[in-house]
Structure 1
Amino acid sequence: MPSYSGKLFLLLWLLMLTLAAAITIDEQCMHSIDSCDRCLSTHLNCAWCTDKKYQVRSRCLSRATLLNFNCSEANIYENQPQLEVLQQKPLKDYESSDEHSVQVKPQRVFLKLVKGNTQRLKLSYRGALNNPLDLYVLMDLTWTMRDDKDTLEQLGEQLTKTLRNLTNNYRLGFGSFADKPAMPMIMPQLRDNPCAAERESCEPTYGYRHQLQLTEDIKAFTNAVRNSKITGNLDNLEGGLDALMQVMVCPQQIGWKQQARKVVILVTDGFMHFAGDGRLAGIAERNDRQCHLNEAGEYTGSLVYDYPSLEQIYRELLRRKINVIFAVTEEVFLTYKEMSGLMQEISNVEILSADSSNILELIKKSYESFIKRTQFGDNSPEFIKMEYYTDCAGQFPNLRPRNYCNNVNLGKEVEFYVDITLTDYPKNGSLYHKIRVEETSLNEYMDIEVELQRPCPCVEEPQPDDEYGRFQCDEQGYLNCGMCVCDEGWTGTFCNCPTDPSNATTNEALLRTCRLPLDSLGSSLSHLVCSNHGECDCGSCKCDAGHTGEFCECLECFDCDEERAECHCGQCVCKYGWSGTRCNCAESTEGCIGPTGEICSERGACDCGACSCEEPYLGMFCEIDAEKDNKLCQFYEPCVTCLIMQKQGMGACDNLSQICSSANSSSSFTYSFVAELEAEIMCLVRIVNKHGIQCDSYFGYQVIDRANYLAIQAIDCEPANYYAIFGFISLATLLLGLLIIMIFRWCINMKDAREYARFHEEQSNSLRQENPIYRDPVGRYEVPKALSVKYDENPFAS
């Protein structure tokens, strides 16, 4: 447990920190004495006192300080930001009972914003399991796609299995497109049968045809694909964007469900016509982004409206919350990749095989990429700034400024933190606004009801004859809401400035003269009066201690040597011949000039007589480059080469004195040959010696007081002695052969010994097998060596 004295010290320390923070806030507030509005906008903790009996000059201080200075609590106005959650249903997966899921919380929030103050909201998102999927297949049915149609027709059962692995709640729709049936998109003579050139019969060219509304019936989808007809056009540019626009803007005909994730897979092997291409056929009217499908599902505006632009497609995809998969062949993949890059949050591009056999794989892959990505946007006005931060469910160690996450597993909760800041008040004066933060590809959102705190809420009956109020305004005005309302002919914060000398009729006009211009013309002014480091006194700034300048914008200089520098707005400006941050360096580059004669090898700047190198150069003269040769090594190399050749008796160089001297002086290099080279920087020199052998030597260099010192390790590479080498190799071969023979003989002996030991072991363990009733027919008698003389032992004994 900490001691009593330790607790006391900690308490005093915390009290000192609190006081320091309070002083800092009061210092920021105390200069905003001219109006309640400016006071409250200076700092969140600034408060304004309207008490007429308040006797302190500054009415703008922190609440605690105003109370200490006897301002009545009822007359204190302060910032009051608020945050209240109005609706927060828990996140839940999709349930068929109510056909609803909750993927975003909270759903409704109330905010009261104060200008300049930032409030943070926590937004949680979790992708719902088993969420509905509406998949609309939009297929190019021109002549080159006939095999792909057949493939799609045969994938009914497999398509069902693929979609059930993604979600149990899915619906399918189908539509087809070709191009505008007008010249030059088609040949007029082939209008009724565009496939006549292929000696085949097919459907007349059409723009877009809606074949099947979104349905759970897979058989209906298969029949719709089977009953669709192949058509054709003239070029390899199709009207897919015309069709895609109609799929988006005709929700009733297509059957989009509001809660579902909406996906269009556009299958084609050709490029797209864009806005402006319709003029080739005399179609100049801009696409109106309206539904033009008749009862048969035919697009009736094909010959009336131009192709939509990519910007129109993008805006509608975002507004309708529809994701699009471009399933295209490899030949056009790069073009669609660039197109998708312009709207990557709601689109994806995959390579389609020649006959569309991998379309199920593409659907699965793209759908999984969509559900693993979440992104939020909002409709906030320009005067409210919204910033998003997230760690993407632990993907990053810290919060990052981003409004999206990728590769988030389904069912994983992701938290976004939204910082909301009121940067200015709206010009129309409206204080109530509604902001919607919504997921870009789902109908999931959070509504924020915003109230802007009034600039200053004080409303008071004017009392022009109140004696104490007039006393505080120098008897030339009266006090209202803590601010002086001046009599005619007077202005200023305390009505102490006559209007004639300053040619100003309002206090705000005087304050403008105390604001720092932000451009050379003075058309843009700082919002701070006297840079918040002084007070505006009748149009001129009176600065606090430690600040100077016409607008108190400069710090005073404390460390400028008058002999070497002059103070200019808080900075030392060096006089001629001096440099450095404190003007303590003579402007001479002699210490930066290397042996090559260059200043810092032209790779840095001379700072106070020493080289300050650019990245990635190093060294005293920035001569070292980690990826290339050392500049000084290259400079010294001719000299070192001559010295080594001279030492090895290869002759002397004629210009030795010239190449062994600095470029910026006539002083010769000092050199020495060493047996072992000990140098921080080692340079390589390679020569061919008198024996015709390429030989590598090393040297080091030092530059001390502009003198050059070289340490050279010259290696004398002698030619090889072939007789010695041959004898050595022969002897080594003989010894190696004998060693191999001895090892071989030892291995054979060891093997024989093991076999012999095994034989003896088997003999000792063997048993003789004999018949127990067998008697040997040969009788054997062994004559004793000596006969006994005892009768009972020997019958022949006497």
Structure 2
Amino acid sequence: MTSLVVKVILWFIFLSLIWGTSYSEAASIDEQCMHADSCERCLSAHLECAWCTDKEYQVGYRCLSRSQLVKYNCNESDIYENQPVLDVLQSKPLKDYETSDQAVQVTPQRAKLKLVKGNTQQIKLSYRTARNNPLDLYVLMDLTWTMRDDKETLEELGAQLSQTLKNLTANYRLGFGSFADKPIFPMILPQHKENPCAAERSICEPTYGYRHQLSLTDVIPNFTSAVKNSKITGNLDNLEGGLDALMQVIVCTNEIGWKQQARKVVILVTDGFMHLAGEGLLAGITQPNDKQCHLNADGEYTASLDFDYPSLEEIYRELLRRKINVIFAVTKEVEHSYRELSALMNEITYVDRLRADSSNILELIKKSYESLIKRTQFADNSPDFIEMVYYTDCGGQFPSLQKRNFCNNVSLGKQIDFYVDVTLKKYPDNKNYNYQIRVEETSLSEYMDLDVELQRPCPCQEIPDPTNEDGRFQCQNQGYLYCGMCQCDKGWTGTFCTCPTDATNVTSNEFLLQKCRQPLSDTTTSQLVCSNHGDCDCGSCLCDTGYTGPFCECRECLDCDEKLADCFCGQCVCKYGWSENGCNCEGKTDACVGPTAEICSQRGYCECEECQCDEPYLGKFCEVDPEKDNKLCLFYEPCVTCLIQQKQGMGTCDNLTEICSSSDRQDMHRHRFVSDLDLDQDLCLVRMVNKHGIQCDSFFAYQVIDHTNFLIIKDGECDPPDYVALVGYISAFTLLIGLASMFLIFWCIRAKDAREYARFEEDQKSRLLQENPIYRDPVGRYEVPKALSVKYDENPFAS
């Protein structure tokens, strides 16, 4: 039974806490809402604020939370409130490329938002690089004279290029085009127009601007053949018309054969830099590039002499619009220039170094492509009054969400989540409340469409009725109620039409409200009427209980003793002679006056007879500066110097009494010499030259007790060195070292001899032969047997 009672009590306490918290939150919301005097200001005060347009509503505050308005009998159909909406309309799951269907790399694909002014809606956007996504790779090659060996290398690497691309994606196509420069002086010499390679004593075909050789195809032999059949040409300088050619590759969508869903990549191969916009003027070409396709049936760029080179900005915009990436494969000599160019559009370009003969082009394509697919970036076309902010941790690369719209080093198959905060900052001037915003991946045709509706600023559907009695009563019979706000009769103004207008008075309610807003500077005022703590009555604030000030900006002081302090904007300001928070400390400063006769060393203030030091000063009198010398150390230094000189017999200071006295009193500092100092104390240093002419450092500490100064000085003298003893010590030490070295050398020699003799004896014991085994006597010897056989067959000398 006891256990049940305890459980009931605990449950009751839990419910009370929840109800109390909820009540507190509701009260806080209503406090922010209640002083709004118009529907628009009401809805801007807080997301939970609602406005009542019911004419029969009798409560003075029309802006409260919806629950409070209903509680005070406001008709629910007459309540206008914030209604933010976030609905996902299309959300196909992420998937890799399949031959029967396209890949999905961004989800959701479409969502609907209803935005409330000042409120932020957050939508989650997910991205994942699809495996085997189609790749359209167009090789745009500089075929001027210096690139002839690179063309030959590309011919030889055709088959290997196919294998390289297969390792990247199973679905790829190749295209090919070449460029040189505008065929006009000063880009070429007129006399060499038919053979621009004449200066190299060779023959090549006439200079052309750009030639499209092969549309994108998956038949690799066609690519190899196109490269082989292309011709070398030439120009005068080492600047080429690469931008002219690149613009045609970008805008000639049908001729090149770009697929909408493919990752589109142009690899531009060159050993020179490119002419920029404006340099066509050198040849008399002044018409700006029109960003249109000008290829004939043979793939020739026909407008090379009609339009100037495009600008980098035009190239960049078209690349972004058409989702095309560029890889600049350039030689070492121009690499730095192209890296600077790429930095201006780094989300869609990549630069890598090409060897002199282009032998590393396959490696470069692989490396560059992998770099492109490892980066993702999102952009949007939101208007300036809608703010969109992106947050992501890049798939766990960061410990928390970072404010950024891109990620690098994205692993293939790794899902990356972006959280997009969408905020309506202000209403558009054109009164258009419906927009479509596209959030798209900058290098792919993958995007999310947002259907955005802006909540209208308090539309009112009712018909004005100036004769309605209830409405006129709420407006003091000097106006009528329309959409919850008083429309005043002529001669009256104000929130409730209580302010008369005449020749000496203001004539608009907005001007009256402006007088109730606190100025923030010479040109700006607060948006809050009466600081949201009162009502504006004819240009003057009537403050709520607990608030005061001309704009209700101050809280009332609750604990100020009128005898000791004055109340100033919610704070107690102590009267003369009193201090501390409660103004209960008398203003005496004697205890804060240090030996220098300064209050807190002029580095703080005295409060209740204790120094309150300014940053970064420390100490009883704020004398300690962590970055500079201690102020009291400097004050005591002359006195300590005199005392040390006196103790060492260097004479007595003539003005010792004056030097060793406080600035505000004539009592002498008390001192004593000690053998050691407490290291926990703040130590001071005195550096002086003693009677032996030696610079000597001495340490001391100080204490101030009841205005009496105590100095504790470390006792020690810096005596001159005894040179005779020093020479003797050095000589004895040198002799000792020499004897020890000789003994060590002798011992090492004896030990080595002993080891060698022992090894010799061991060899002698194990020796079996007494003569050299490889020695052979050069004299042949034969010994006649002592007994010879008489048999002939045994003895040839037998008879």
Residues 1:36 and 2:39 are matched in the alignment: yes
Q: Which residue of 2 aligns with 1:292?
A: 294
Letter in 1 for 2:30: D
Return closer, same or farther for 1:159/1:578 CA change in 2, 3 Å cut-off: farther
The 5 Å alignment of 1:310-329 reads 310-329=312-331
Taking the aligned partners of 2:293 and 2:205, their CA distance within structure 1 comes to 24
* The one of 612, 615, 628 aligned to 1:612: 615
Counterparts in 2 of 1:63-82, with a 5 A limit? 63-82=66-85
The residue correspondences of 1:456-475 to structure 2 (distance < 5 A) are: 456-475=458-477
Distance in 1 (alpha carbons) for counterparts of 2:595 and 2:393: 48
1:4 paired residue number: 8
Note the C-alpha offset of 1:319. 0.9
Report the CA distance between 1:736 and its aligned residue: 5.9
CA gap of 1:564–1:179, structure 2 versus 1, over 3 A, is farther
The whole-number CA distance in structure 2 between the counterparts of 1:590 and 1:22 is 54
Structure 2 length as normaliser, TM-score? 0.78
Given candidates 56, 63, 87, the residue that maps to 1:53 is 56
Is this contact kept in 2: 1:591–1:610, CA < 8 A?
A: no
Contact 2:486 2:497 in 1 (8 A): yes
Correspondence list, 1:268-667, <5 A: 268-500=270-502, 503-517=505-519, 520=522, 522=523, 525-545=525-545, 547-553=547-553, 610=613, 612-613=615-616, 621-622=624-625, 624=627
Tell me if the contact between 1:47 and 1:77 (Cα under 8 Å) persists in the aligned partners: yes
Amino acid at match of 2:284: G
Partners in 2 of 1:563 and 1:335 — Cα distance? 78
Q: What is the alpha-carbon distance in structure 1 between the residues aligned to residue 117 and residue 748 of structure 2?
A: 94
Structure 1, unmatched stretches of 5+, are 601-606, 755-798
Contact 2:566 2:572 in 1 (8 A): yes
Which residue does the alignment assign to 2:766? Answer: none
Maintained 8 Å contact 2:701/2:713: yes
| Residue 25 (structure 1) aligned with residue 29 (structure 2) | yes
Distance 1:367 1:196 in 2: 39
Q: Specify the SS of the correspondent of 1:189.
A: helix
Distance across 1 between alignment mates of 2:646 and 2:758: 62
Inter-partner Cα distance in structure 2 for 1:36 and 1:294: 64
* Alignment-derived partner of residue 143 in structure 1: 145
Q: Which stretch has the larger CA shift, 325-334 or 250-259?
A: 325-334
Cα distance, 1:348–1:45 mapped onto 2, change above 3 Å: same
Partner of 1:724: 732
- Size of the aligned set, in residue pairs, is 731
Q: Partner letter of residue 60 of structure 1? A: C
Q: 1:511 to 1:230 in 2, by over 3 A?
A: same
Distance 2:192 2:672 in 1: 93
Whether the aligned pair in 1 keeps the contact of 2:597 and 2:663 (CA below 8 Å) is no
1:246/1:729 Cα in 2 relative to 1: closer, same or farther (>3 Å)?
same
Q: Counterpart in 2 of 1:124?
A: 126
Q: Deviations over 1:320-377 (max 9, x none)?
A: 1111112222222222222211211111111222222222222111211111111111
CA change 1:668–1:683 in 2 (3 A) is: closer
Separation in structure 1 between the aligned mates of residue 444 and residue 502 of structure 2, nearest angstrom: 65
| AA matched with 1:6 | L
Alpha-carbon distance change, 579 to 328 in structure 1, aligned in 2, over 3 angstroms = farther
Where 2:471 maps in the other structure, the secondary structure is: helix
Residue 166 of structure 1 is matched in structure 2 by 168
Question: Closer, same or farther in 2 for the Cα pair 1:488/1:686, shift >3 Å?
Answer: closer
The CA distance in 1 between the partners of 2:116 and 2:278, in whole Å, is: 48
Tell me how far 1:237 sits from its aligned partner. Answer: 2.0
Q: 1:498 to 1:168 in 2, by over 3 A?
A: same
1:246 match: 248
Shift of the 109–674 alpha-carbon distance from structure 1 to 2, 3 Å rule, reads same
Q: Distance in 2 between matches of 1:157 and 1:126?
A: 31
Q: Which amino acid aligns with 1:539?
A: G
Q: Give the TM-score, by structure 1 length.
A: 0.79
> Is 1:112 matched with 2:114?
yes
Contact 2:699/2:714, CA 8 A, preserved across alignment = yes
1:586–1:608: 8 Å Cα contact kept in structure 2?
no
Q: Distance in 2 between matches of 1:568 and 1:292?
A: 78
Check conservation: 2:645, 2:652, Cα contact below 8 A. no
Partner SS for 1:174: strand
Distance 1:632 1:509, change over 3 A: closer
Q: CA deviation at 1:657?
A: 10
Tell me, yes or no, if structure 1 residue 91 matches structure 2 residue 91.
no
Look up the equivalent residue of 1:377 and give its one-letter code: A
Contact 1:587–1:608 (CA under 8 A) maintained in structure 2:
no
1:530-573 CA-partner distances (Å, limit 9, x unpaired): 33233221233333345555444556678999999998877899
Q: Which moved more, 1:353-362 or 1:738-747?
A: 738-747
Q: Secondary structure at the match of 2:96?
A: strand
CA distance in 2, matches of 1:593, 1:197: 91
2-side partners of 1:384 and 1:221: how far apart? 48
Unaligned ranges ≥5, structure 2: 604-609, 763-799
Distance 1:53 1:633, change over 3 A: closer
Do the aligned residues in 2 keep the contact of 1:184 with 1:281 (CA within 8 Å)?
Answer: yes
Partner of 1:678: 679
1:502 and 1:539 in contact (8 A); partners too: no
Distance, in Å, in 2 between the alignment partners of 1:395 and 1:579 is 55
CA distance in 2, matches of 1:198, 1:594: 93
Deviation for aligned residue 1:63 = 1.1
Worse-matched range after superposition: 148-157 or 681-690: 681-690
Query: What is aligned with 1:196?
Result: 198
Deviation of residue 447 (structure 1)? 0.8
In the alignment, the residues of structure 2 paired with residue 332 and residue 631 of structure 1 have an alpha-carbon distance, to the nearest angstrom, of 61
Question: Does residue 218 in structure 1 map to residue 202 in structure 2?
Answer: no
Deviation of 1:165 (Å) = 1.2
Contact 1:50 1:76 in 2 (8 A): yes
DSSP 3-state at the match of 1:433:
strand
Taking the aligned partners of 2:685 and 2:29, their CA distance within structure 1 comes to 65
Distance 2:573 2:202 in 1: 88
